[in-house]
Amino acid sequence: MLASINHFLVDQLGPMGPLIAIGGLGLLLILLTLPTMLKKKPEPFDKIKSQRTTQKSPKEQGLRMGAKGGASDKLQKFSTFLEPQNADELSASRLKLQRAGYRAKNAVQLFHFSQLVLGVGFLIFGVIYTLYAQTQGEVTTQMMVISTIGPGAAGYYLPQYWVQRRMQLRQEEIISGFPDALDMMLVCVEAGQSLDQSIMRIAKESRAGYPALADEFDTVAHEVKAGKERVAVLKDMSDRVGIPDVSSFVTTLVQSATFGTSIAEALRVYSAEMRDKRVMRAEEKANTLPTKLTLGTMLFTVPPLMIILIGPSVHGISKALGGG
């Protein structure tokens, strides 16, 4: 079926027929989709906001436009196109970017904008490469489709891979520095400092070694200073980080505050458990080394050894057969 379609397009449009058909179909789909996605219904709150803006003096409007104008406002105009319209999907995207360390207000829009730009850019590069390959020789339809759509798909999924990788590295950094942070918190609390002061001290001291963990504790300290309830702040930290150790730590602190038990005692028990977990992780990595070394030994040692041992015999046998 694909071969017959390819022959028909080549007969009607020439050697570039399949590529022209694919490009025209993609352009048609974009033209049909863009008006629907860019159409955004005005919200009642936006109408009220615009009415309040028009009632302000020209000087205040100029100051407001100067303060908020920029790339964020330009992306906000296309928010219907650059961010999910479902509230659950939007919340999940924002949470994933926060776990990767991107906390800007327009992080979701920038993420989808980068997907769009890289996807279209790599798609154009694939088209140019396919045109160049056709000038050098005949290209099959399957190869043409792969070389055209493949780079576009790679460019579209590249930001997603980058965010996923950043999130994994950030979580590994937090897991590595969390036992030390708990030990420092225990020392600060036993020295007479409050929990809020100890959190600020941890954020300051762990900045050099574990900046991701310091950012999380800084966020907790600023939110508590702003007047937000400590339990809610700690639960937000647990959701924002997405690490079971931090979730258990938050649960311990919440239960300690609820039942009125000593925070120092709870921290002492939990910090000891975290140290044991870190030792267990190190032992787990150490136990995987023999398997990895065995695989490397089999791949890089056994073949040369077999060549050294069997090679002369094979050479002698082949020489004897050739002479006979």
Judge contact between 170 and 212, C-beta under 8 A. Answer: yes
Nearest Cα to Cα of residue 167 among 117, 223, 94, 59: 94
pLDDT tens, residue by residue, 105-127: 888 888 888 888 888 888 888 88
Which structural domain range is residue 233 located in? 169-283
Helices 244-259 and 263-300, packing angle to 10 deg: 170
Same domain, 211 and 271: yes
Same domain, 10 and 119: yes
Same domain, 162 and 204: no
Same domain, 141 and 221: no
pLDDT band at 60 (very low <50, low <70, confident <90, very high): very low
Higher pLDDT, 229 or 9: 229
Same domain, 155 and 248: no
Same domain, 115 and 218: no
Same domain, 202 and 138: no
Average pLDDT over residues 80-98: 75
Write down which residue in 150, 167, 184 finishes a domain: 167
Report if residue 207 sits inside a domain: yes
DSSP assignment string, 11-55 = HHH-TTHHHHHHHHHHHHHHHHHHHHHH--PPPHHHHHHHHHHHT
Write down which residue in 138, 167, 196 finishes a domain: 167
Write down which residue in 143, 167, 191 finishes a domain: 167
Would the CA dihedral through 304, 308, 314, 316 be positive or negative? positive
Report if residue 323 sits inside a domain: no
User: What pTM was estimated for this model as a whole?
Assistant: 0.65
Same domain, 11 and 82: yes
> pLDDT at residue 189 above 80?
yes
Report if residue 47 sits inside a domain: no
Same domain, 271 and 218: yes
Number of structural domains found in the chain: 2
Judge contact between 241 and 222, C-beta under 8 A. Answer: no
Same domain, 227 and 275: yes
Report if residue 7 sits inside a domain: yes
- Coil/strand/helix, residue 78: coil
pLDDT tens, residue by residue, 146-185: 888 888 888 889 989 999 999 999 988 888 888 888 888 8
Same domain, 16 and 142: yes
- CA 324, CA 321: separation in Å to the nearest integer? 5
Output the pLDDT for position 81: 54
Who's near 200: CB < 8 A, 6+ residues apart? Answer: 217, 221
